[in-house]
Amino acid sequence: VVGLGPAGDEWRTPAASARLAEATDVVGYQRYVDAVGPPRPGQVRHPSDNRQEAARARQALDLAASGRDVAVVSSGDPGVFAMATAVVEERHRRPDPAWEGVDLEVIPGVTAASAAAARIGAPLGHDFCTISLSDVLKPWSVVERRLDAAAGADFVLALYNPTSSQRPWQLAQALEVIGRHRSEHTPVVVARAVGSDEEAVAVVTLGSLDPGTIDMRTVLVVGSSTTEAYDDGTGRRWAYTPRSYER
C-alpha cells in the first residue's frame, strides 16, 4: 500500500516511487491512479470508484495472491483516512485462505496536514490531532463529540474532508463547536491542493473563515490557544505553535 504524498512528485518518497516503478499492477481510486503518472510498459492499471474501498482491497489481495506485484495507491499517507486500513482490515475480518502467503507492506507518505503546515511555518509544533469531518463512515454526533473534546483540550486541529456537495452544512457546524473553545482571532491555515499547480495556502482567523469558500481538496489547521501568526515584512504570513507553555 503506497502513499503518493499530497500531490505531484516533489514530496513523494523515493521508497514510494521505487515501489510504483516495480509494480505489475496499480489499484486505486481513479484520481490517485492517474496521479501515479504514465504506466511503465506492461503495468496494468485498475482504477475504481472512491466508495469501493473494501472491494478494491480484496481485488488487490487477490491479484497479489495470484503472484502479481501490486501497489494500492492513496494520496498523502495511506494510513491517514485512506486505503491501508481497508487492506489490513479485510485481511483480518474477511480473510481468504488464498491470501495467506501475501507479503503486505505499507509505504508511508507525507500527509496533507504536514504538507500544509510546512508551507506556512510550524502550526503542528505542539500537541495536535487530526479529525475527518466526513460523516459518511461515522455518525455526525461522533464528529461533534470529538471536535468538542479536542478543542476543549486545546489541541491544534487538522481537519480533513472538510466539506463536499453531499455534506454542505457540516463545516459551519464544526466551526461553531470549535468556536465554543477558541477566540475568533485564532489562526487557521487554509491549505488547498498543496503541492499541485493549483496550490493556495493562507493564514486567516477563525472568525473570518467563510465555510462557503472551502472545498474537498482543502485541509484546515485550526490553532490552539497558543498558536501565533505574523507577517514577515515581505508579504508572507507565518503561523506556529510554540513547543513551550512558559510564557
Ligand X SMILES: C[S@@+](CC[C@H](N)C(=O)[O-])C[C@H]1O[C@@H](n2cnc3c(N)ncnc32)[C@H](O)[C@@H]1O
By CB under 6 A, name the one of 124, 194, 206, 221 that touches ligand X. 194
Q: Kindly calculate the radius of gyration of the chain based on its CA atoms and give it in whole angstroms.
A: 19
Spatial separation of the C-alpha atoms in residues 140 and 158, rounded to whole Å? 17
CB of 201 to ligand X, least distance (A): 9
Q: Which residue has the cell 499492477?
A: 25
Residue in 212, 206, 216 with CA at minimum distance from that of residue 182: 206
User: Under rule CB under 6 A, which residues in 136-165 are in contact with ligand X?
Assistant: 160-162
- 10 Å CB burial of residue 224 (0-12, 13-18, 19+) is buried
CB of 218 to ligand X, least distance (A): 5
Stretch that binds ligand X, among 40-48, 80-88, 120-128, 142-150 (CB under 6 A): 80-88
- In a 3-state reduction of DSSP, which class is residue 237? strand
Give the total of residues touching ligand X (CB under 6 A): 24
DSSP letters of 87-104? HHHHHHHS--GGGTT---
CB of 193 to ligand X, least distance (A): 5
Judged by CB under 6 A, does residue 202 bind ligand X?
Answer: no
CB of 72 to ligand X, least distance (A): 12
Judged by CB under 6 A, does residue 81 bind ligand X?
Answer: yes
Binding site for ligand X (CB under 6 A): 6-7, 74-77, 80-82, 111-112, 116, 160-162, 191-195, 216-219
